[in-house]
C-alpha cells in the first residue's frame, strides 16, 4: 500500500512499480514467517493447499494486470475492505487456539474454503496487491474461525506464496528494476521482523489496531 505510490512518485512506470513491490514484499515476509513459526501460531493443516492456490491465483492475476487497466478494481476494494473489517472486529470472539479443533475444522470444512480464499486473494494480490494481507487475515478469521494472531501468522504464508507467484510473472515480463528494489529489501526484512515480534508479544492485540489503520489508510489512498 505504501510502496506502490512511492515507486510511482520516483518515476517508475506502473507495471515496474507493481513488480518492485512484489520483490520487496516477498523477501520482507520471510522474517515475519520465521518468527511466527517459532511461536507455533501458524495453522499448518490448511497451508499446503493454500500455498498452491495462492501461487496460482497470483500468477494469473499478475499476467492479467500486464494486459488490463486497474481503475475499476479500486471501487470494488473501497466497498469490500470496510465491510470485511467491520465483520472481523465485530465477529465471534471464541478462542480457537486448540490445534486439534483447528485441524478438525480444516480437514472437514475449511480446505475448500481456504483454496477459494487463496485463489481469489492471490489473484487480487497479483493483479493489484495493496491490502492483500488484510484480506487474507479477514477471510481466515471469518471463514476458518481463527483468532487474529493465528490468522495473521497463517496469512503470512499465503501472502508470501502469492508474492512469489506475482514476482515470477513480473520477472518473466521483464518488469523488474533490481537496483532499486534490492536495497529496500533490507528495510522490509527489518520491518517485518519487528512487526511480527510485536504481534506475538501482544498476543495478537496489536493486529486489530494495525488492521484498522491499514484499511483506513488504503481507503484514503484509493
**Extents of the domains making up the chain:** 3-221
Q: In angstroms, rounded to a whole number, what is the distance separating the alpha carbons of residues 115 and 50?
A: 5
Which residues have CB under 8 Å from 58's CB, separation 6+? 122, 123, 125, 126, 161, 162, 163, 164, 165, 166, 169
Rounded to 10 degrees, what is the CA torsion of 25, 29, 31, 37?
-170
Place of cell 515480534: 197
Report the chain's mean pLDDT, rounded to a whole number.
Answer: 78
Q: In angstroms, rounded to a whole number, what is the distance separating the alpha carbons of residues 30 and 160?
A: 7
Place of cell 495493496: 130
Find out whether 199 and 206 touch, Cβ atoms under 8 Å: yes
pLDDT in tens for each of the 222 residues of the chain? Answer: 557 766 777 777 877 888 888 888 888 788 778 888 888 889 898 999 999 999 999 999 999 888 876 566 556 556 656 765 665 555 444 444 444 444 454 455 778 888 999 999 999 999 888 778 888 998 988 888 788 888 989 999 999 999 999 999 999 988 887 877 777 778 777 877 777 777 677 766 666 676 677 666 656 655
Find out whether 81 and 218 touch, Cβ atoms under 8 Å: yes
Alpha helices by DSSP H, listed for 99-203, are: 99-105, 111-127, 132-144, 148-172, 178-201
Find out whether 185 and 23 touch, Cβ atoms under 8 Å: yes
Q: In angstroms, rounded to a whole number, what is the distance separating the alpha carbons of residues 138 and 89?
A: 9
Looking at residue 118, its pLDDT comes to: 96
Q: In angstroms, rounded to a whole number, what is the distance separating the alpha carbons of residues 117 and 132?
A: 11
Q: What pLDDT, in 10s, does the model give residues 69-80?
A: 656 655 655 665
Amino acid at each position: 500500500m505504501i510502496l506502490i505510490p512511492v515507486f510511482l512518485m520516483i518515476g517508475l512506470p506502473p507495471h515496474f512499480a507493481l513488480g518492485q513491490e512484489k520483490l520487496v514484499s516477498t523477501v520482507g515476509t520471510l522474517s515475519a514467517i520465521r518468527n511466527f513459526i517459532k511461536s507455533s501460531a501458524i495453522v499448518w493443516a490448511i497451508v499446503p493447499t493454500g500455498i498452491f492456490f495462492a501461487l496460482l491465483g497470483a500468477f494469473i492475476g499478475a499476467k492479467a494486470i500486464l494486459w488490463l487497466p486497474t481503475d475499476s478494481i479500486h471501487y470494488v476494494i473501497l466497498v469490500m475492505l470496510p465491510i470485511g473489517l467491520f465483520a472481523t472486529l465485530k465477529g465471534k470472539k471464541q478462542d480457537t487456539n486448540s490445534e486439534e479443533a483447528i485441524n478438525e475444522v480444516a480437514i472437514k470444512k475449511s480446505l475448500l474454503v481456504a483454496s477459494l480464499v487463496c485463489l481469489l486473494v492471490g489473484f487480487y494480490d497479483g493483479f493489484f496487491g495493496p491490502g492483500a494481507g488484510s484480506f487474507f487475515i479477514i477471510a481466515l478469521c471469518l471463514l476458518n474461525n481463527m483468532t487474529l494472531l493465528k490468522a495473521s501468522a497463517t496469512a503470512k504464508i499465503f501472502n508470501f506464496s502469492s508474492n512469489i507467484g506475482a514476482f515470477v510473472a513480473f520477472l518473466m515480463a521483464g518488469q523488474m528494476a533490481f537496483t532499486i528494489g534490492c536495497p529496500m529489501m533490507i528495510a522490509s526484512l527489518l520491518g517485518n521482523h519487528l512487526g511480527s515480534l510485536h504481534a506475538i508479544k501482544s498476543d495478537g492485540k496489536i493486529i486489530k489496531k494495525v488492521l484498522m489503520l491499514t484499511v483506513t489508510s488504503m481507503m484514503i489512498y484509493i
